[in-house]
């Protein structure tokens, strides 16, 4: 019985070592553990408490959340697999000039914004689609068509992002 107990203890210790998440103490030079695009030119070291949106906001709208996910394809869409100490991509080497801001709205914006947008609104904490559409005198159907990143239930407005609330005729 003593031999079986020591074997189990040894196997558990080995499994804990093999399957443990890396830490900055154990691996001080973690690079691209998640995997990022090959033309990444600038990285950011994830800090404790960071989320994808927090990282995007640290760069003041220089890129969108959609762009961040595109540059870091191994990060889950719920952003629940970031770890302090790992590197993520926050800038790439341009192979073509960046497109102008979508629809004339200043960054940050989400993908798909109406190209003829001429009136923008930056969402603040507590906003809802109903409140935004009522304040700007537009229908929910129009708001959703101008902002295709917003789901039909309108449960995914992102604080700090600009949304289209009017288009040029």
The two tokens of residue 47 are: 């800090």
**Nearest C-alpha neighbor of 116 from the set 83, 142, 89, 134:** 142
CA distance 14 to 6: 12
102-167 is classed CATH 3.10.350.10: yes
pLDDT at residue 28 is higher than 50: no
Measured CA to CA, the distance from residue 154 to residue 83 in angstroms comes to: 30
Q: Do domains 21-92 and 102-167 have the same CATH topology?
A: yes
Whose tokens are 């288009």? That residue is: 167
What's the predicted TM-score (pTM) here? 0.44
Mean pLDDT (whole number) for 13-22: 45
26/157: higher pLDDT: 157
Q: Which residue has the higher pLDDT, 30 or 87?
A: 87
Query: For the chain, which residues make up each domain, given as ranges?
Result: 21-92, 102-167
Q: If you count them, how many residues does the chain have?
A: 169
Name the architecture of domain 21-92: Roll (3.10)
Spatial distance between the Cα atoms of 7 and 22, rounded to a whole number of angstroms: 25
Which has the minimum average pLDDT: 3-12, 51-60, 152-161?
3-12
**94 vs 86: CA distance, rounded Å:** 23
- Is 20 a residue whose pLDDT tops 80? no
């Amino acid at each position: 019985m003593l031999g079986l107990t020591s074997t189990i203890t040894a196997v558990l210790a080995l499994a804990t070592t093999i399957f443990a998440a890396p830490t900055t103490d154990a691996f001080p030079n973690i690079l691209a553990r998640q995997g990022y695009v090959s033309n990444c030119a600038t990285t950011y070291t994830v800090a404790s408490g960071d989320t994808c949106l927090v990282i995007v906001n640290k760069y003041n709208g220089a890129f969108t959340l959609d762009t961040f996910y595109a540059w870091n394809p191994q990060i889950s869409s719920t952003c629940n697999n970031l770890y302090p100490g790992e590197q993520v991509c926050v800038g790439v080497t341009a192979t073509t000039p960046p497109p102008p801001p979508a629809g004339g709205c200043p960054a940050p914006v989400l993908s798909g914004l109406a190209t003829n947008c001429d009136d923008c609104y930056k969402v603040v904490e507590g906003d809802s689609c109903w409140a935004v559409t009522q304040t700007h005198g537009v229908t929910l159907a129009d708001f959703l068509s101008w902002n295709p990143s917003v789901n039909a239930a309108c449960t995914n407005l992102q604080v700090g992002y600009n949304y289209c609330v009017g288009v040029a005729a």
